[in-house]
Amino acid sequence: MDNKAALRELLQWKRRQLDPTDLGWPPRHGRGRRAPGLSQAQVAHLLYVTERTYAQLERGEMAAPTAEFLDRVARVLRLEEHERTALYVYSVGHEPPRPQDRQAGMTVPEAWGEAVHCVVGNASYVNDVAWNVVAYNTEFVRMFPRASHAGPAIPDRNLMRYMLLDEAAREHHLVNWETEWAVPLTAQLRNTVAQHPENEDLRRLDEEVSADPVAGPIYRTKHVAYIHPNGDTRRMRLPYSGPVNEPAHLSRCCEQHAHSQVGDVTMCAAMPLGSPGARFFVLLFKPGPPRRRPSNGALPT
């Protein structure tokens, strides 16, 4: 089936599901149209366009429908998020620039919580679109700096706030914080705030990071095009929880924190379908010296 046929079937199917009387039209009596649902003329009326204009879209003959027009069609026909995505793909060849639901990405199906617990031996977690951690495994809790003789704990439910604003993250946990972590993290934050301007958690993060004396100047001046960290490798210090006879490569970042080991962490990321902007992560940590970098000095991806 080509895109035109798929678009036609999608829109006709959604029209058949809507009862005109629910949208203000009187019940049908006597002769006339007996097909269920809305007619093309009724859809066009709700869209404030001519019947010919809407018919062009339904036939797949509208040259370049705008995002505004497609979103109006999605609202009039009461398309679900995945149906709206199909509308875009069939009519313009790509997914919508942003989700229709303002809260999209703020909830993640419970099954992802079970998925992270199936990951053994590597830190794994899921965060929503605003970097609030919603599910994690035991290894994730153990990756944060901790005082000697203290138990593992997550220092902040919001991972972006921790990585950019927490002193322990900047000074002890995330090695080469300013060059390897802060620049791509602030670029990620800037991009996500622009995509979700009405998200209160992101708005608060934007204000806090911008006002911070350390992260703020980087956030305001380093305009880097960077969206997600999938495949990135960066330096990190992880607490050591092995036997008492400590390996020779262990060290102390400071007197406050327990022994730890420095190494490369590679971030494997995926997006839970239906939660745009949320991320599922598995972190692969390899202690030891840095991996060899490409000749241009960039981190391997």
> Are residues 274 and 224 part of one domain?
yes
> Are residues 278 and 197 part of one domain?
yes
- Residue 296 has a pLDDT of 39
- Residue 248 has a pLDDT of 53
CATH number of the domain residue 267 falls in: 3.30.450
> Are residues 219 and 137 part of one domain?
yes
**What distance in Å separates the CA atoms of residue 50 and residue 244, rounded to the nearest whole number?**
78
Residue 198 belongs to some domain of the structure? yes
Range of the structural domain that residue 143 is part of: 111-287
Q: How far is CA 204 from the centre of its chain?
A: 17
> Are residues 172 and 223 part of one domain?
yes
> Are residues 253 and 148 part of one domain?
yes
Residue 298 DSSP SS3: coil
pTM: 0.71
Residues of the chain whose pLDDT is less than 70?
A: 1, 29-34, 101-105, 223-228, 241-253, 255, 257-258, 292-301
> Are residues 242 and 137 part of one domain?
yes
> Are residues 270 and 122 part of one domain?
yes
Residue 20 belongs to some domain of the structure? yes
| Strands 260-270 and 233-239, sheet pairing | antiparallel
> Are residues 249 and 276 part of one domain?
yes
Residue 293 belongs to some domain of the structure? no
- Residue 292 has a pLDDT of 59
Q: How many domains does the chain have?
A: 2
> Are residues 170 and 272 part of one domain?
yes
Residue 71 DSSP SS3: helix
> Are residues 151 and 86 part of one domain?
no
> Are residues 88 and 187 part of one domain?
no
Residue 57 belongs to some domain of the structure? yes
Task: Choose the final residue of a domain: 40, 63, 92.
Answer: 92
- Residue 301 has a pLDDT of 33
The pair of structure tokens assigned to 244 is: 């008492």
CA distances from 1 to 4, 39, 65, 213 (A): 8, 24, 21, 56
Residue 281 belongs to some domain of the structure? yes
Q: Which of 147, 167, 143, 184 is nearest to 285 (CA)?
A: 143
- Residue 90 has a pLDDT of 93
Residue 59 belongs to some domain of the structure? yes
